[in-house]
Amino acid sequence: MPHDGVQTEQTLKLPMHDLIERAPTPHSVTNRRLDITKKKHRKPSATLSIVFVGVAVRERPDLDDKGAEYAIAVSDGCGIVQSEHGFRPKGENSANALDHILELARKYTSQRGHKIQIVALARTCDGLHPNLTFDADKECEGTNLDYLTRVWLELDAIPFLSSREATEGKFSLDGQATAAIDEALTTLVPMSSSTIRVCMSPLRRVLVDADFRVRLYSLTELKNVTSPALWSAFTNLGEALAAQKTSIRFFSATPRGGGVALMRHSLMRIWHMTGLDVQWMVPDGDPATFNITKRKFHNVLQGVAEPDVMLCDQDKELFEAWTIHNYKRYWQGEDSPFRRLDIAVIDDPQLTALIPIIRRESPRTKIVYRSHIQIRADLIDKGEKQQCATWDYLWSFIKLADVFVAHPVEEFVPQVVKDSMPVVYMPPSTDPLDGLNKPIQREHLNMYRHTFDAAVQSSDGRHVDWSRGYIIQVARFDPSKGIPDLTEGYRLFREQLERSGVEGNVPQLIMTGHSSVDDPDGTLVLHQLQEQVSDRKFEHIRDDIFAIRAPPSDRLLNAMLRGADVVCQVSTREGYEIKVTEAIHKGKWVIASNAGGIPLQVRGGTDGDIVEPSDSQGIADALLKFYSSESLQASRSEMIANDIHRLRGGRHGAHGSGPSERDLSIGNATMWHVNFAKLIGISGHVELRDEQKGLLDRLEVPRHGRRACDLASIKDRKVWDVLVEAFEQTKKQ
């Protein structure tokens, strides 16, 4: 025993990973290979089986006749069903081994009828951790980051980096591959079908992408789909803010569901890659409170609430008590996110009662209030009782902020705001490379159709006939989304189609979208729709109308939009509909309503047609126009703008295809950079390059001392227009 103790003490002086790097030897490992033979009796129509893959790779300089060693573990979610262990030929390194594994994965999925949902990489794989920087070239120096992007694009699988704790100390490389996928399943499921899962820190910080262990793409890919002028502004402003250690916190109601959450996931992902100190906090939600904030805040301000809905004192007491509860439980004390905070962004009306708390606890913090809905400012300005009851209450909090950010429509801002505080305008955005927008190869498109069809069958026993094509609207089941108008428009279109004698398959209508935890209206709207289609006039087309909450998968909504003949977005009230941007990004023809900010997104006759809100006949006419044009239909197929080797961004100016860069993530992040820099200035201690100084001067950003707040040059303006003017000045110089 004493000898055992001495031996153990001597051995443990070595790091644990050094112990296992020498074992097993090539001679002690059974030669295993993945089965990549084609299944003999599998029908082409069969759905793909979901599997999850763990990978471990390491260099073997101790072996003279071998290259890098690798191990693959395939799990069905319950256990390992197949595995492979091997060595690459002499001279091949870890990067070569990863390439080999990617090729094996492609063959395996194709031959065996599988779909890989997650590829989990053990820490033995070198070069998979980025350098946090705004410089896209330096970010990837000495790394294999492009491999993670290839997993995301080519396999349509989520690339996950396992923790050191999960894989270190395992007996063999096979054990490390198995541990990596086991940890991924524990961490990500049900995130395996969506890259947005609710993960929280104890302080209610949203741990985006499993605390950034999911890595979808690098800055290099973003740079490649961004114009040089915009990328230069993004990096020059961002580097200056990061150099002075600017701290920024976003506060919004929910970590998933709805456009605000989607935007925050994307921006947190991008800012994390650059090293800028930005975090996103959400409260502990409450159904009773969200019932008030949705029906008596959101719906009332949009002008879509029933006339008898009125905010009362009890509602106010509950709302404020809920805010104070969250503050005291999560955001008070030494670890408070308000301590030493430069900028707080209140991203929702649901968090407005937090503004006076921040103002009291951290007087130095600059506070931004961002309004993300179409406020009926006309009704507020006229003194309408219902709207004023809600607005006056919220305004008592909002007026304590330093700046009011609104969608780029002046009519959304009540006059009292314009008279009392700086107002700037900027739209929301979508991420061109996330699950909602990335290209999806045809075999994966078909898998998502199977998934959607299974959800339809589970709901009411019907099937979608994909061969007939379909019209789609992707939106929450919300009173402002024009769902009854679209349904009636489809009925009128079917009547016109029958009379016109247009040949070909008759398209179906699909209305779908994700739910949100702060939205109680979805079930009511669905019930109203069911009542509508129960009318006798829908008797012959009722089975062609599908309305269903979508399964929780971003890529499923992506696939559904790509596969549609035409995309509709016929809201009666709308701040700025990001699903319109996503449809245009996919090259789809869009029929959209002249509501809120939508006309700013759609170029009539180029991106689609604009119809008036609640105009069912106008919707029918626009549909008939599309289906009467063979050339228009041919130019909008599912494979347009859907090439994994030619990623698509936005257009830089008024001409060209796709959405404006203004409406994509880098454009949005750059507009936030402008706001942040204007709010606090840039310290004179920060070393700036000449091009940074020039841009800051053109934007009139103070650069000789922090805490300066000079919004004069962007007050009452669209931030994107300010940026474009700076681009033009740069060109002239």
Output the six-digit token pair for 26: 């090539």
Whole-angstrom distance, CA of residue 699 vs CA of residue 694: 9
CA 648 remoteness from chain centre: 16
CA angle 578–583–584, rounded 5-degree value: 100
Arithmetic mean of pLDDT, 251-257: 89
Strand 608-611 relative to strand 590-593, pairing: parallel
Task: Give pTM, 2 decimals.
Answer: 0.92
Q: What is the pLDDT of residues 518-554, one digit of tens each?
A: 566 778 889 999 999 999 999 999 999 999 988 888 9
Mean pLDDT within 338-362: 95
Q: Do 198-429+657-733 and 22-189 have the same topology in CATH?
A: no
Distance CA 233, CA 235 (A): 6
Using DSSP's 3-state secondary structure scheme, residue 489 falls into: helix
pLDDT for 427: 95
How far is the C-alpha of 338 from the C-alpha of 365, rounded, in Å? 8
Q: Is CATH 3.30.420.40 what the domain over 22-189 is classified as, yes or no?
A: yes
Residue showing tokens 């302080």: 203
| 15 pLDDT more than 60 | no
Mean pLDDT on 235-263: 93
Query: By the 8 A CB rule, do 307 and 386 touch?
Result: yes
The pLDDT assigned to 495 comes to 95
Distances from the Cα of 497 to the Cα of 470, 544, 628, 636, angstroms: 14, 14, 9, 20
Taking Cα atoms as reference points, which of 514, 507, 373, 370 lies closest to residue 436? Answer: 514
Residue 238 above 60 pLDDT?
A: yes
**How many residues in the chain?**
733
Q: Is the pLDDT of residue 12 over 60?
A: no
CA angle 718–234–723, rounded 5-degree value: 25
- List, in order, residues 6 or more apart from 183 with CB less than 8 Å away: 120, 162, 163, 166, 167
Q: What single-letter DSSP state applies at residue 288?
A: H
Indicate whether 17 pLDDT > 50: no
Are 626 and 565 spatial neighbours (Cβ–Cβ below 8 Å)? yes
With CA atoms as reference, report the closest residue to 301 among 103, 39, 661, 573.
573
Question: In 3D, which of 453, 479, 476 has the Cα closest to residue 465?
Answer: 453
Residue 723 has pLDDT above 60, yes or no: yes
How confident is the model at residue 191, as a pLDDT? Answer: 58
What are the boundaries of each domain within the chain? 22-189, 198-429+657-733, 442-643
What the block records as the tokens of 389 is 């009851």
What confidence score (pLDDT) does residue 575 get?
83
Measured from the Cβ of residue 509, the count of other Cβ atoms closer than 10 Å reads 23
Q: Which residue has the tokens 């599908």?
A: 546
Query: CA–CA separation, 277 vs 294, rounded Å?
Result: 31
Helix (H, G, I), strand (E, B) or coil at 265: helix
634 band by pLDDT with thresholds 50, 70 and 90 = confident
- As a whole number, mean pLDDT of residues 105-113 equals 92
% of the chain beyond a pLDDT of 70: 93
Q: Flag whether pLDDT at 447 surpasses 80.
A: yes
Average pLDDT for 310-330: 97
712 vs 27: CA distance, rounded Å: 73
List the single range of 430-444, 466-480, 505-519, 569-583 with lowest mean pLDDT.
505-519
Mean of the per-residue pLDDT values for the chain?
A: 89
- Of the pLDDT bands very low, low, confident and very high (cuts 50, 70, 90), residue 20 is very low
CB distance 233 to 728 below 8 Å: no
Instruction: Output the pLDDT for position 4.
Output: 41
* Residue 709: predicted pLDDT: 76
pLDDT digit string (tens) for 71-97?
999 999 999 999 999 999 999 999 999
User: Mean pLDDT across the stretch 607-619?
Assistant: 97
Query: Distance between the two ends of the chain, CA-based, in angstroms?
Result: 80
Distances (CA, A) of 294 to 56, 253, 319, 390: 47, 11, 12, 12
Least confident window among 248-252, 467-471, 618-622, 704-708: 704-708
Reported as a single tens digit per residue, the pLDDT across 355-388 is 999 999 999 999 999 998 889 999 999 999 999 9
State whether residue 609 is helix, strand or coil.
strand
Classify burial at 200, counting beta carbons within 10 Å of its beta carbon; exposed 0-12, middle 13-18, buried 19 or more: middle
* Res 10 pLDDT > 80: no
Q: Which residue has the tokens 């279109």?
A: 493
Residue pair 652/229 in contact (Cβ under 8 Å)? The answer is yes
Strand 247-251 relative to strand 343-346: parallel, antiparallel, unpaired? parallel
Alpha-helical (H) ranges within 461-552 are 483-500, 522-533
pLDDT confidence bin for 142, thresholds 50/70/90: low
Element (H, E) at 608: strand 608-611
The CATH classification of domain 442-643, taken from the options 3.30.420.40, 3.40.640.10, 1.20.1250.20, 3.40.50.2000: 3.40.50.2000
Q: What are the tens digits of pLDDT across the range 672-712?
A: 999 999 999 998 889 999 999 999 999 999 888 666 678 98
Question: pLDDT-based confidence at 730, cuts 50/70/90?
Answer: confident
CB-CB neighbours of 244 under 10 Å: 16
Helices (H), 501-533: 522-533
Pairing of strands 277-281, 247-251: parallel
Instruction: Kindly report the three-state secondary structure assignment for every residue of 60-113.
Output: CCCCCCCCCEEEEEEECCCCEEEEEEEECCCCCCHHHHHHHHHHHHHHHHHHHC
Q: What is the pLDDT of residues 200-223, one digit of tens each?
A: 899 999 999 999 999 999 999 999
CA 276, CA 270: separation in Å to the nearest integer? 9
Distance CA 447, CA 558 (A): 12
Quote the pLDDT of residue 21.
42
Check residue 9 and give its pLDDT. 33
Of the pLDDT bands very low, low, confident and very high (cuts 50, 70, 90), residue 1 is very low
CA 553 to chain centre: 11
Question: Which strand (E) or helix (H) includes residue 161?
Answer: strand 158-161
pLDDT at 25: 45
Helix (H, G, I), strand (E, B), or coil: what is residue 547? strand
By percentage, how much of the chain surpasses pLDDT 90?
71
Of residues 255 and 709, the one with the higher pLDDT is: 255
Alpha-carbon gap, residue 433 to 209, rounded angstroms: 14
The Cα-based distances of 439 to 152, 648, 672, 724 in angstroms read 10, 9, 27, 29
Q: At 256, is the pLDDT very low, low, confident or very high (cuts 50, 70, 90)?
A: confident
453-509 tens-digit pLDDT = 999 999 999 999 999 999 999 998 888 899 999 999 999 999 999 888 777 789 999
Confidence of residue 26 (pLDDT cuts 50, 70, 90): very low
pLDDT-based confidence at residue 31 (cuts at 50, 70, 90): low
| Rounded alpha-carbon distances, angstroms, from residue 367 to 354, 362, 401, 522 | 10, 10, 5, 32
Looking at per-residue pLDDT, the higher value among 614 and 514 belongs to 614
Q: Spell out the CATH class of 198-429+657-733.
A: alpha beta
Which pLDDT does position 22 carry in this prediction? 41
Determine what percent of the chain falls in helix, strand and coil, rounding each to the nearest 5. Answer: 45, 15, 40
Euclidean distance between CA atoms 262 and 267, whole angstroms: 9
